[in-house]
Copies of this chain bind each other. A is one copy, B any other.
Amino acid sequence: MSEDTTKAPEAEQLVRPSVPALDKVLGVKFDVLDDGFVRLVDYMGSDAAIVQAARVSYGKGTKKTSQDRGLIRYLLRHRHTTPFEMCEIKLHVRVPMDCWRQWIRHRTANVNEYSTRYSIAIDAAQQTEPSQWRRQAPGNKQGSKGFIDPGDGELLSKREREIQDASREVYQERLDAGVSREQARKDLPLATYTEAYWKIDLHNLLHFLSLRMDDHAQMEIREYAKLIGYEIVSQWCPIVWEAFLDYNMEKLVLSRLEIDIVGAIGRGDKQRAIEMATGFGWLKRGEKGLLRHRERNEFEQKLKQLNLPIPWKE
């Protein structure tokens, strides 16, 4: 092929696929937190594109929709993940830097962030309502549980406004003194909002969502993740979204150890179940009965969810 070749291409032209339900919200801001947002900028593909890639077909002979659904669910259930990479989405988001620091740890996305070297920092920081200060979780070192008394919250919120205002004042003083933007920003609070274009394929987006919609994720990023999932992905690829909830978000995983114990429960051998749990070190006792044991607790939750008896209770 020489570079000036003029091709006479065969005539099987396609129309670019689109998703009408998604086109309706293109460019629309979905609010998150007190001043953040998520905004769909562009997308590529749909449920149909996944089926097409899985079949490496010619875009012609699509089968019945019911078969498409079965295929997508099969692919997701069996970790055939590459067809899901054939869909891509681009969002414009506004997020506190603190939250963005977690977000950006997902390395498989394309990112263009607002530059505070180049431009004046966005004049907004995420603010916390008096009723929204969360307590440190006692059991879980990296979580929160419940809320601070709103009376005490009043003071915390007042102090927050003061420190955010003071920080911004210092920032402005520096700019006024001629300090470079790249250095002036150094003491802005982590709650300062930033903006970014964020582009990712559907497979990696689902991975992001499965981690960030999870109860263990910090509340702030969970808000973003849920919005992206329930408002955008659910419209974009509804069959995928349903399968994702069924086979991923709401799945239950049993380890080899747990399978063995459930097997004993299943054949009614409570004694053997207790022996195995003892062997795993799950049933150590202190003065007040069973000692706390994280893995055993997790397992007990699973047994409850399955309506199966906990052999060592009763």
Which residue on chain B has the smallest CB distance to residue A9?
B28
Contact of A246 among B78, B98, B188, B256 (CB under 8 A): B256
User: Please, what's the 1-or-0 string for A111-128, where 1 marks a CB less than 8 Å from any CB in chain B?
Assistant: 111110110000001101
Minimum CB–CB distance from A27 to chain B (whole Å) comes to 3
Contact of A26 among B14, B199, B250 (CB under 8 A): B14
**Residue A65 interfacial (CB < 8 Å):** no
Chain B neighbourhood of A56, CB < 8 A: 92, 112-115, 195-197
Are B266 and A306 in touch, CB under 8 angstroms? yes
Identify 18 residue pairs between A and B in the complex whose beta-carbon atoms are under 8 Å apart, listed by A's number: A14-B27, A16-B26, A86-B90, A86-B110, A104-B104, A126-B186, A128-B183, A133-B174, A134-B183, A135-B180, A143-B182, A156-B179, A162-B170, A186-B189, A187-B191, A188-B189, A253-B254, A262-B307
User: Which residues of A approach B to under 8 Å, CB–CB?
Assistant: 1, 3, 5, 7, 9-18, 23-32, 41-45, 49, 52-54, 56, 58-59, 73-74, 77-79, 82-83, 85-86, 88, 90, 92, 96-98, 101, 104-105, 107-108, 110-115, 117-118, 125-126, 128, 133-137, 141-145, 148, 152, 156, 159-160, 162-164, 166-167, 170, 173-174, 177-183, 185-192, 195-197, 199, 201, 211, 216, 218, 223, 226-227, 230-231, 245-247, 250-257, 259, 262-267, 294-295, 298, 305-308
